[in-house]
Structure 1
């Protein structure tokens, strides 16, 4: 009879293991603190969910990348990139997972577990992150689907490590299902994965906020901005756009939407990705960077634009107008991030 693997909560601590755990907790705390106060948290959560879901698919040994997740969820067909060839339905779990991430707080971490979990030796004394990873480890032994990897960000929130859902914090390893690797090495590897994911999530939030500031400054500097401000707010919640999808959301004609998108591209508010003259598709610069369509900035960061009364007015009304936009999206039945219509 095969002996069960030694739980993480019962491992002997070493300086390297303690350092890896501390670095992971610090990185997660920094990201969580920023997300809790950022007005761009909903936009970041959508983008982070693409990265987290791509990680889960890789852990399932599926040859899919984040670019494939973005294209699938936004209905994009990228020029020069073939459709992913996979068996089964690898994208079906995304919608339910995103819905679970959006659940209100207050549910106990034991709720919805698809297996019976008895806290192992050392549970009460173990750091809270070690408890969460012990739960992930036991889950991976009983479930061969992507559910354990996708469930980790939910467990981290329910067990009290994060105050907000952080979908980028998907971690794990196929070897956990066989428990063949040294247990200390597995725990250290998981901590390093979470640290890197949290640091990448924070970098993505920095890029999103910096891009929003540059967009606001560019719009404020326009003599006749027209619907550019509305388009900028729409792009936060719906970062993949085309004239046919923008027109009904902004109440303008398809021709007018095309001209508006072209103007936004000239101002570097959007990036055109379709590579054709008609029925063009556009994405925000941060998504274009994730798709590998533009190169990341190099060298010293650009100086933020100086504050101005016009820019302050734009930022001051941002929350109210985003709430109105959410209400309009809900009315049109496209409020959910999983409800992207094809944009090409």
Structure 2
């Protein structure tokens, strides 16, 4: 049930990595906020030359494509390889192709191509946007290539680990949401809100009101209720324009401090949770279908909202 929101969040993270590799001074939260159509307090406005959501949407479409492609046919680079190419470790082969592509193309494209390249080379089963890397040193042919190789292999490992951690966080959020809904008195649209926050992890009362067909006051109260249940975190600290972030991302982005000691485990799955999980998953499936029908994975602006 959390595959689509994970893919979406991972693409936002990967896109941030690619922009940073091009010298952009932005953080993940800037892309998350832009894609959720929410202005985050205390953040500088996105530079106009970077504010191109079409580039990210095109990348979403490429990542979702089922078309079988091979890097030899698609990339504008030499396809000649060394005699021992097949015996080399797979990730070293991938890094060599990335370096060739980066030297041939000075744009952001070589970095965004990495997830697809790993799939094309059968290193991964799917295009995983969390595995985006970017390193300007790959555009040169330095003497100390070993340092660059080690740095990027570590980057792959770090990105993969972060992807697993965030996938688990989404699974935990699903269980916590179901547990809270089960115990809530008159939950109302709490399940719909928490499902929405999987896809749109940065939200404001206005966005929630437009999406869930509520008044702004009602949306604010619903978000406040979710915050009281410790399922979302209010990060604005202002009364007029409140902003909320999914709790796992609030921790990742440094809006709240991690508790000292062992973190609280999510509720364990039990048969008692199954009816609520079915409701929650149905809400997520409906949101997923609406996004798919719009052909987009960015800000949720449904027809009529």
Q: TM-score, with normalisation over the residues of structure 2?
A: 0.87
Q: Runs (4+) of structure 1 moved beyond 6 Å? A: none
- The Cα of 1:156 is off from its aligned counterpart by 0.8
Map 1:292-331 onto structure 2 (within 5 A). 292-329=254-291
Residue 61 (1) aligns with residue 35 (2): no
1:338 corresponding residue in structure 2: 298
Moved more, 101-110 or 130-139: 101-110
Residue 178 (1) aligns with residue 140 (2): yes
Unaligned runs of 5+ in 1: 1-38
**Relative to 1, partners in 2 of residues 1:158 and 1:176: Cα closer, same or farther, differing over 3 Å?**
same
Residue 148 (1) aligns with residue 106 (2): no
> Number of residues paired by the alignment?
300
- The Cα of 1:66 is off from its aligned counterpart by 1.4
Report Cα offsets for 1:65-118 as digits up to 9, x if no partner.
21222222223322223324x473364532222221111253323343233433
- The Cα of 1:309 is off from its aligned counterpart by 4.3
State the distance in 2 between where 1:191 and 1:176 align.
13
Map 1:34-45 onto structure 2 (within 5 A). 39-45=1-7
Moved more, 303-312 or 57-66: 303-312
State the distance in 2 between where 1:172 and 1:238 align.
26
Q: Is the contact made by 2:71 and 2:117 (CA closer than 8 Å) also made in structure 1? A: yes
**Relative to 1, partners in 2 of residues 1:171 and 1:313: Cα closer, same or farther, differing over 3 Å?**
same
Larger radius of gyration: 1
**Relative to 1, partners in 2 of residues 1:297 and 1:169: Cα closer, same or farther, differing over 3 Å?**
farther
State the distance in 2 between where 1:321 and 1:90 align.
31
Moved more, 221-230 or 110-119: 110-119
Equivalent residue in structure 2 for 1:207, among 160, 164, 169? 169
RMSD across aligned C-alpha pairs, in angstroms? 2.4
Moved more, 138-147 or 282-291: 282-291
**Relative to 1, partners in 2 of residues 1:181 and 1:78: Cα closer, same or farther, differing over 3 Å?**
farther
Q: Secondary structure at the match of 2:249?
A: helix
**Relative to 1, partners in 2 of residues 1:306 and 1:49: Cα closer, same or farther, differing over 3 Å?**
closer
Q: TM-score, with normalisation over the residues of structure 1?
A: 0.78
Residue 118 (1) aligns with residue 80 (2): yes
- The Cα of 1:321 is off from its aligned counterpart by 3.3
1:88 corresponding residue in structure 2: 49
1:263 corresponding residue in structure 2: 225
